[in-house]
Structure 1
Amino acid sequence: MMNTTHAAMGVALATPLAFAAPELAPTAALAGFAGGAFPDLDLLGGQHRRTLHFPVYYSVAAIPAGVLAALFPTAATVAAAFFLLSAGLHCVADAAGGGLELRPWEATDDRGVYVHPKGAWVPPRRWIRYDGAPEDLLLAGVLSLPGLLVFDGAVRALTVVGLLVSVVYVAVRKRLPEVETRYLR
């Protein structure tokens, strides 16, 4: 899935707080956005879906963080809980997408996401065939609805930017391997 889809997923997770604790909802949404985007920073230098992708560790850490946020709802505790929850969901959701190959629509790679405690890769399910597939854009659009309709300010602005980036990325996705092999390698 696209990074923007994961970020929108993080904002969507925070939507119930807009009604239950509106004073904390923007913080939760921004932390969810950041947590959704964070694991993909491993594209910049590490092994993608292994270096900063911790499906078990983020998810386990989200439990006490969530309990702490429920007992002591401050901006810091809520931000930590939603960041970890969103990062964990990002990593788990990556297994629903394609593999790590340069042309993931060819479905030649069996690496979905690395599970550190097992020391093994979970194979991709390809429910979203590859990052930047049309169904990925559809999912990003649906998951962006709370950011557009429930939130305002920075959350809405980031959601709009995320959607615009998604549309451009989907439009050029299948050309990127050629650009990478020609100019970046």
Structure 2
Amino acid sequence: MMATTHALIGLVLALPVLTVAPELAPVAFVAGFVGGLAPDLDLYTGHRKTLHYPVYASVATAPALALAALVPTPITVALAVGLAAAALHAVADVFGSGLELRPWNGASERAVFSHYHGRWIRPRRWIRYDGSPEDLLLTGLAAVPLVALGGDRVAALAIAFVAVSAVYVLLRKSLATVAERLVALLPASARPYVPARYL
């Protein structure tokens, strides 16, 4: 899925805080946003393995949510929402495509690495690839409650992310060719640092 999809879903996870403890909503929105994006910081170093923890992050979310419910402070709420967003990101990637430059070809059987199981989980391809029309639909659906309930700043961010996502969807397939051409221009000394899917 697109990073924008993950970020908006992370923001959606903060909406219950807006209802229950509105004074903690700003920290919840920031935590949901960061948690939704954070797993993809491993994009160039062991993508969907280094920072993706579908099992461990999900297990850690339960006590974090309980703690935030019992002791709602900025720290406990940020931890709970951030962990929930990161866990949902890792789990959601299982329902997307595998790791490859052109995921619409469906050649990769590696969606997300499960550290608990010690193996890669195969992609389900419900969202055929990041930047697919169904990915954009999911982004749009996540934006609806944010625009309706999130306030001006969150609504503006959601609308901006949907717009950026729409452009990415239009360009997605051609970007794979652009990436290949750019990698071909790199000096040989830089190539060991380029993810295998780009070579």
Residue number in structure 1 paired with 2:73: 74
* Distance in structure 2 (CA, Å) of the matches to 1:99 and 1:164: 25
- 1:2 partnered with 2:2: yes
- Give the counterpart letter for 1:24 in structure 2: L
Matched letter for residue 139 of structure 1: L
1:96-175 aligned within 5 A: 96-175=95-174
> How far apart are the structure 1 equivalents of 2:182 and 2:84?
37
Partner residue of 1:12? 12
Instruction: Give the equivalent residue in structure 1 for 2:193.
Output: none
Relative contact order, CA 8 A, sep 6+: which one is greater?
A: 1
Alignment check: 8 A CA contact 1:30 1:155 kept:
no
Q: What aligned pairs does 1:168-183 form with structure 2 within 5 A after superposition?
A: 168-183=167-182
Q: For 1:114, what is the secondary structure of its paired residue?
A: strand
Which residue of the partner structure matches residue 184 of structure 1?
183
1:109-134 Cα deviation digits (max 9, x unpaired): 00010001111011000000000000
1:27-59 CA-partner distances (Å, limit 9, x unpaired): 21221111011101111x311111111111211
Alignment-derived partner of residue 86 in structure 1: 85
Q: How many angstroms does 1:26 deviate by?
A: 2.6
Other structure's SS at 1:50 match: coil
| Contact 1:59 1:89 (C-alpha < 8 Å) held by counterparts | yes
Greater C-alpha radius of gyration: 2
**Deviations 1:87-139 (Å, cap 9, x if unpaired)?**
00000000000111110001000001000111101100000000000010010
Distance 1:142 1:26 in 2: 21
Q: Which amino acid aligns with 2:7?
A: A
Question: 1:54 is paired with a residue of what secondary structure?
Answer: coil
2:35 corresponds to 1:24: no
Task: Name the amino acid aligned to 1:7.
Answer: A
RMSD (Å), alpha carbons: 1.3
Q: Distance in 1 between matches of 2:77 and 2:156?
A: 21
Can you give the 5+ residue segments of structure 2 that lack an aligned partner in the other structure? 185-199
Q: Is the 8 Å Cα contact of residues 56 and 115 (structure 1) preserved in structure 2?
A: yes
- Give the aligned residue type for 1:169: Y
Q: Residue 11 of structure 1 contacts residue 146 of structure 1 at CA under 8 Å; is this kept in 2? A: no
Once residues 30 and 167 of structure 1 are traced to their aligned partners in structure 2, the CA distance between those partners, rounded to angstroms, is 23
Q: Which runs of 5+ in 1 are unaligned?
A: none
Aligned length, in residue pairs: 184
Q: CA deviation at 1:182?
A: 0.7
Query: With structure 2 as the length reference, what TM-score do the two structures score?
Result: 0.88
TM-score by length of 1: 0.94
Aligned equivalents of 1:176 and 1:48: distance in 2?
18
What percent of counterpart residues are identical?
54
Residue 108 of structure 2 aligns to a residue in which SS?
coil
Q: Is the 8 A contact 1:26 1:151 kept in 2?
A: no
Cross-structure match for 2:56: 57
Q: Distance in 2 between matches of 1:99 and 1:17?
A: 34
